Amino acid sequence: MNMVSIILQTLLILMFLMASFGKLRGAKTPIEEFEKLRLPQWFRVITGIIEFVAAAALMIGYWDASWVAAGALLIVFTAVGGVLAQVRIKDSFKNMIMIMVIGVAAIFIFLNNVSELLNFPGFN
């Protein structure tokens, strides 16, 4: 694993842990964001759980590289869902940039570790 991938992995772990905890504890900002996106609040909790699982998979990836690819793929799907939710309400491109950058970083990490995915528990 190269240094750029490790740095991006660490940044995504920190970002997704903070985001998931905010969603799961019911912080004001995620509640308002899901209202703006016209999504139900139970979906905020599900999203928080998915974000936490993705961050945990990336953390486990420090010891088992197959988990990095799985966690990054989960983040890619989450980012695509976030962009689609913003497109659905015709949000500005400026508001979509961050989730797009996160998605691109996750794609980079996934592609950098995709060969390890074959070693994911249960795949061999």
* pLDDT for the residue 1: 54
Confidence (pLDDT) at 124: 64
Confidence (pLDDT) at 120: 81
Q: What is the largest CA-CA distance in the chain?
A: 44
Question: Which regions of the chain are under pLDDT 50?
Answer: none
Compute CA distances 116 → 29, 43, 60, 100, whole Å. Answer: 36, 31, 13, 24
Is the Cβ–Cβ distance between 123 and 117 less than 8 Å?
A: yes
How many whole angstroms separate alpha carbon 120 and alpha carbon 67? Answer: 7
Q: What is the pTM (predicted TM-score) of this model?
A: 0.89
